[in-house]
Amino acid sequence: MNKRQPILDVDESTYERIMAVNLRGLYQLSQAIVPMMPASGGKIVNIGSINSEIGLAHVSVYGATKGAVKQLTKVMAVEWASRNIQVNCIIPGFMRTPLSAAVWADEKKRRWMSERIALQRPGEPEELLGMAIYLSSKASSYVTGQAIIIDGGVTAGGAGWA
């Protein structure tokens, strides 16, 4: 969840709500589910955000929670490796979702994002499925503690002056 506001405008209630949903919920759900996983191990796939890779104005609390999810993924992977639990994180880029609809509807923001995406289009949630399936399968049994970026090339760089 997110509420886009400048840092100086974020009140305590908004801060606490975003933290509770994006970080505390993931943390406590993981604490609850890991003891119930079979002795043979299991998989946890967290969902991060491009905001853990690049700073964006007006999403300070959201970005902080998603950066924490990325780091928490690493710690969980280390702590739970002895249980044969692999923990990884998918980092979506600029996706077209209900949460981002207002951003894509804003011409200035849409142009800014599109100029930074090498594939020149927003990602669709379905484009994360292949990675989620892989990370949830036996094929990824030696992959843990990773944050895998699926961003259409945003973090690869840009052709801004080409």
Q: Which CATH number fits domain 7-152: 3.40.30.10, 3.40.50.720, 3.40.630.10, 3.40.50.11060?
A: 3.40.50.720
* pLDDT tens-digit profile, the chain (162 residues): 888 898 999 999 999 999 999 999 999 999 999 999 999 999 999 999 999 999 999 999 999 999 999 999 999 999 999 999 999 999 999 999 998 898 899 999 999 999 999 999 999 999 999 999 999 999 999 999 999 999 999 999 866 655
Rounded to an integer, what distance in angstroms lies between the CA atom of residue 30 and that of residue 108? 39
User: What pLDDT was estimated at residue 4?
Assistant: 87
Per-residue pLDDT at 159? 60
Please tell me the distance from the alpha carbon of residue 9 to that of residue 95, in angstroms, as a whole number: 26
The residues near 56 (Cβ < 8 Å, ≥ 6 apart) are: 63
Active site residues: 62
Q: Residue 94 carries which DSSP code? A: S
Residue 113: is it exposed, middle or buried by C-beta count within 10 angstroms (0-12/13-18/19+)? buried
> Considering only CA atoms, which of 120, 124, 111 is closest in space to residue 153?
120
Amino acid identity for residue 50 in this structure? I
Q: What angle do CA 3, 4, 8 make, to 5 degrees?
A: 105
For 123, phi and psi rounded to 5 degrees? -80, 155
